[in-house]
Amino acid sequence: MADQNCDNNRVAPRQSSASNGHNLDSAYPKPTSFPRLNEPAPDFQAVTTQGSAKLADYLGRWLVLFSHPSDFTPVCTTEFIAFAKAHPRFQAIECDLLGLSIDSVSSHIAWVRNIKEKFDVAIPFPIIEDLTMQVAHAYGMVQPGASDTSAVRAVFVIDTESKVRAMLYYPMSNGRSVAEILRLVQALQTTDRHKVATPEGWTPGAKVMVPPPKTVAEADRRGREDAGCTDWYFCQRKVEDAVAAVR
């Protein structure tokens, strides 16, 4: 049976001696707003399996911040193995990976060691300890309809200026496609670099979409003269040709 909740053995909510036994929700109020596309990503400072981390550490690089429901669960393990294997490809496009769950660093370390022992896969990226759920709540990773005490499978693609460029939410029972997340980052980078759009299923090297014309005259010209256009609003080209057309 699939690990539908990925947290069946968890207890909740967590308590802290620093909060005198009060529920952590009262010690750390939930935010009233959540990230939106093209707006600044919520700032954070956190403890990870590779030391402390903050959002500013990733300025100038792309970042995929992703949450998982719990350590030592099967679906989460398959995802981490896939992220680890794809890590060199993310690094090649100047994109870092950062995991998160509402577990302790000790739990993360034990799980990472277990993955290396059982699957011979090293996890090269850091994982945030979020026992207080501060980061998870700030990013809307905790969905009460799924669980009040675990993060769902959320993905945030954050650009070089710390702006949220894409958000994905998956249920606890279903794993993500790491290949699709990589493709999405590549598509966003292509859009930024060349001022073009990418069609359904686009992969690097495939044709891109030229932005629609801004004047009637340009629309008429495209419809009559442009061999790359199916119609005035629908034009596909290789990236190099598309850049020339935009100019």
> Catalytic residues, which ones?
76
Neighbours of 42 (CB within 10 A): 21
Q: What is the DSSP secondary-structure string of 21-53?
A: T-BHHHHSPPPS----TTSBPPP-EEEEBTEEE
- Which one-letter DSSP state was computed for residue 11? -
Evaluate whether 214 touches 185 at the Cβ level (below 8 Å): no
Evaluate whether 70 touches 141 at the Cβ level (below 8 Å): no
Q: Which amino acid is at 62?
A: W
b vs e for 162-178, b when ≥16 Cβ sit within 10 Å of the residue's Cβ?
Answer: bebbbebebebeebbeb
Compute the distance between CA of residue 122 and CA of residue 94 in angstroms, rounded to an integer: 20
Burial class (CB in 10 A: 0-12, 13-18, 19+), 92: exposed
**Residues with Cβ within 8 Å of residue 178, at least 6 apart in sequence:** 79, 82, 83, 85, 86
153 marked as part of a ligand binding site: yes
Compute the distance between CA of residue 99 and CA of residue 77 in angstroms, rounded to an integer: 12
Evaluate whether 6 touches 68 at the Cβ level (below 8 Å): yes
From the annotation, which residues make up the binding site for substrate? 153
